Amino acid sequence: MSSPAERLQEYASISAGHAANALAGFFDQVVLMDPPSCRWLRLDDIPSSVFRPDEWIAAVFADLSGPAPGQLGMLLEREVAVEVLRRMVGSEPGRHLDAAQASALAELGNIALSAAAGALAALYQTVVVPSVPRVGYDMAGALMVDALHSRIARLPAYLMEAELADRAGRLRARFVWVPEP
């Protein structure tokens, strides 16, 4: 019999696997290298332990509603976001995302986060509804706080890292899941 914490970690790993596979399926000839790694952290430690607080990243967040509420996020290093946008819309972002780039990132986030939400729904045997995604392209610490401002207290968060690859190279995606206590 697993403990509640072990069960949550297992759910996080499974949902990240679904999210990463959805991303891989979106791109042609891209595969998921290994099952995503998963660890839990304090939510407010993620910017400093994974990124520098002022590191430039792209992020997509969605709120989860239903009987298992929480928040999900997809975090991409800037270089990964640039590569993803080059593949999706044929342009690279400068200091700002243009409308097409923001829309493309939102769509990509929606695909990944909806897959993760679907996996959580199956695991909890309930309905999990993700909100319209919110997109940001700025400093990691600022984006995390802005997205999760009501939950910046010492909540546990699950951080999942997945590596995708094709002949052209590798892309690392990170997902964060913050279940409501």
Partner 1 sequence: MSASHSVGVGAQQIAQSPSVLRALGVGSCVVVALYDRKRAIGGLAHLPLPSREGRREQPEQFVDSGLELLLRRLGERGCELADLEVKAAGGATLLASSNGCSATSIAPSNVAALRATLTRLGLDLAGEDLGGQSARSVELDTRTGELRIATLRRDLSVL
d(CA 21, CA 69): 23
Count the Cβ atoms, other than its own, within 10 Å of residue 65: 14
Nearer to partner 1, 9 or 110 (CB): 110
* Alpha helices in the chain, H assignment, sequence order: 4-26, 46-50, 78-89, 99-124, 140-147
Instruction: Write each residue from 140 to 179 as x if it is in contact with partner 1 (CB under 8 A), else as -, in one continuous string.
Output: xxxx-xxx-xx-xx--------------------------
The reply on whether position 1 binds partner 1 by CB under 8 A is: no
Nearest Cα neighbor of 137 from 98, 163, 90, 86 is: 98
Give, as ranges, the residues between 86 and 105 that touch partner 1 (CB under 8 A): 95-96, 102-103
The reply on whether position 121 binds partner 1 by CB under 8 A is: no
Which range in 12-20, 23-31, 49-57, 113-121 contacts partner 1 by CB under 8 A? 49-57
Q: With the CA atoms of 75, 60, 98 and 21 taken in that order, what torsion angle do they form, in degrees rounded to the nearest 10?
A: 70
Q: CB 77 → partner 1: shortest distance, Å?
A: 14
The reply on whether position 134 binds partner 1 by CB under 8 A is: yes
Nearest Cα neighbor of 116 from 136, 99, 130 is: 130
Interface residue list for partner 1 (CB under 8 A): 44, 47-48, 52-56, 61, 95-96, 102-103, 106-107, 110, 132-136, 138-143, 145-147, 149-150, 152-153
